[in-house]
């Protein structure tokens, strides 16, 4: 009487075990991989990121490719040799920026890649003028304002890959020469006003950078560390770059922060955030 | 957050892009103030401006390089000359006036007087480092009958602040 149920239990258990492990001849059970972005194509896989937080790498995009968006925006005019770059956040605020990066040695073809570049920026008004005027309105009812910000930068970066080929190292030299940093407000009704000028902001820095593919190109970690000889300050930065083949989001923090001293009270920011959201275009997927 | 403050906050962020320095230089000028002594039979008349707020309150962390009072004084009285003692006080001690300059005006005379003070203890320098400046004019006539006198002036302050070890804003452009 009892043997029949025991035999049924064994048969049921055996059936469960068989169900748990499909026979070799069966088709694999589909796995839901929707959380993993599509595998990047060769073009995407080869030359990214072109920039860390503040360090342009020796990588240059392939001809016709580029990034466009909020923050880092660039286009490769000549294949792996020449990029034109701007930062749309700065452009939007009223400081137009144009940069060119020239590839000297391609890191994909040589052990060490090398790129040099230059950048110029110039204030043209816009939001930054409006912003300064609004700040000034705390001192006077109606104001005119003028912002004069300009300067240039030159840089050179060597890049190479670590043994694992997931980690890339960068060593850069950067020179920044502000030409003018002046904010002026005028009370156009009652008269009077004032100006604040920031002087001696030149910088010579040596920067060390690392980017590491944590999860392929889907998630890339970035670190920077360096020293500003003229400002006698250490520079640090960390960021993550994540997204799909086309849409990328980069967020990072830099040390030191920024001290503002436009008006009455100085305000210290412990860290300086950096942000970029861009769309990668050009080339096949 | 009110809209104005919101915009101001955005402005502060925008302003960050322009920073990066080891020295900040300030050039602040008040609007033109006009003080009038009315005509009367008195031999002396005292009048002050009340608190004049500079467009930027500089605070004590800045070094004032110079405080300049640029005055145009006119004695519209056709008979009596007048002697004027100009003094200043600051918001920390509003009634403690200290003499800045003394000058005389002949009948119907107009004078342009520029007072530049640079010493940290000078009355204009200490006054312009506070939240507000008060300028007083003590006018005296030898004979009864003073005024009308008009004083038009501006106050200009040049100051600087050394910021060693800062300059982080310069990195934003990289």
Please tell me the distance in Å from B162's CA to the nearest CA on chain A: 10
- Report how far residue A86's alpha carbon sits from residue A62's, in angstroms, rounded to the nearest whole number: 17
DSSP 8-state assignment for residue B170: G
CA distance B166 to chain A (A): 7
Which of A192, A198, A260 is facing B31, going by the closest CB pair? Answer: A192
Sequence-separated (6 or more) residues with CB below 8 Å from residue B31: A140, A187, A190, A191, A192, B154
Find the closest chain B residue to A128 by CA distance: B14
Q: What is the pLDDT of residues A229-265, one digit of tens each?
A: 887 888 999 999 999 888 999 999 988 877 665 545 5
pLDDT in tens, A10-27: 343 333 333 333 333 344
DSSP B85-114: EEEEEETTEEEEEEEEEEEEE-TT-EEEEE
Q: Touching check for A244 and chain B: CB below 8 Å?
A: no
pTM over 0.90: no
Give dist(CA A241, CA A49) in Å, integer.
Answer: 9
Determine, for residues A192 and B154 on separate chains, whether the beta-carbon distance falls below 8 Å: yes
Residue to test with chain B: of A201, A237, A253, most B Cβ within 10 A: A201
Q: Check residue A41 and give its pLDDT.
A: 43
Tell which residue, A250, A227, A224, has the closest CA to residue A237.
A224
B91 φ/ψ angles, rounded to the nearest 5 degrees: -70, -20
Which residue of chain B has the CA closest to A72?
B174
Residue pair A145/A185 in contact (Cβ under 8 Å)? The answer is yes
What is the interface pTM, i.e. ipTM, of the complex? 0.77
Burial class (CB in 10 A: 0-12, 13-18, 19+), A178: buried
Q: At what angle do helices A127-136 and B3-16 cross, to 10 degrees?
A: 120
Q: What does the pLDDT look like over B102-157, one tens digit per residue?
A: 999 999 999 999 999 999 999 999 888 888 889 999 999 999 999 899 999 999 99
Distance CA A69, CA A74 (A): 9
Three-state SS for A235? strand
């Amino acid at each position: 009487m009892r043997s029949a149920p025991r035999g049924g239990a064994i048969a049921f258990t055996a059936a469960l075990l068989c169900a748990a492990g499909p026979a070799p001849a069966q088709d694999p059970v589909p796995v839901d991989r929707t959380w993993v972005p599509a595998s990047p194509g060769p073009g995407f896989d080869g030359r990214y990121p072109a920039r860390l937080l503040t360090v342009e790498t020796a990588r240059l995009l392939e001809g016709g490719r580029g990034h466009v968006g909020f923050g880092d925006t660039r286009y490769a005019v000549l294949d792996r040799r020449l990029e034109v770059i701007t930062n749309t956040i700065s452009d939007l605020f009223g400081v137009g920026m144009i940069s060119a990066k020239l590839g000297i040695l391609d890191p994909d073809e040589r052990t060490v890649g090398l790129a040099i570049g230059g950048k110029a920026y110039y204030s043209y008004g816009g939001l930054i003028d409006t912003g300064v005027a609004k700040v000034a309105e705390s001192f006077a009812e109606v104001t005119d304002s003028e912002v004069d910000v300009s300067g240039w930068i030159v840089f050179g970066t060597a890049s190479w890959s670590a043994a694992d080929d997931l980690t890339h190292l960068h060593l850069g030299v950067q020179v920044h020469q502000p030409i003018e940093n002046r904010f002026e407000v005028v009370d156009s009704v009652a008269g009077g006003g004032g100006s604040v000028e920031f002087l001696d902001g030149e910088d010579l820095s040596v920067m060390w950078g690392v980017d590491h593919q944590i999860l392929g190109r889907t998630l890339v970690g970035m670190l920077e560390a360096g020293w500003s000889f003229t400002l006698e300050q250490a520079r640090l930065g960390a960021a993550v770059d994540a997204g799909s083949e086309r849409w990328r989001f980069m967020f990072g923090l830099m040390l030191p922060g920024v001290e503002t001293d436009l008006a009455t009270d100085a305000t210290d920011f412990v860290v300086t955030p950096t942000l970029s959201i861009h769309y990668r275009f050009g080339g096949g997927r | 957050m009110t809209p104005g403050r919101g915009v101001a906050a955005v402005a502060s962020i925008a302003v960050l892009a322009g920073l990066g320095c080891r020295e900040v230089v300030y050039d602040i000028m008040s609007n033109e103030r006009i003080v009038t002594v009315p005509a009367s039979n008195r031999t002396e008349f005292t009048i002050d401006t009340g608190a004049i707020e500079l467009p930027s309150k500089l605070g004590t962390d800045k070094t004032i390089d110079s405080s300049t009072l640029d005055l145009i004084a006119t004695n519209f009285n056709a008979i009596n000359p007048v002697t004027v003692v100009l003094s200043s006080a600051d918001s920390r001690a509003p009634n403690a006036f200290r003499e800045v300059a003394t000058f005389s005006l002949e009948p119907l005379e107009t004078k342009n007087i520029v007072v530049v003070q640079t010493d940290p203890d000078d009355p204009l320098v200490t006054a312009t480092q506070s939240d507000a400046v008060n300028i007083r004019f003590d006018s005296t006539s030898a004979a009864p009958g003073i005024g009308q006198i008009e004083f038009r002036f501006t106050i200009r302050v040049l100051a600087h602040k050394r910021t060693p070890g800062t300059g982080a804003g310069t990195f934003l452009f990289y």
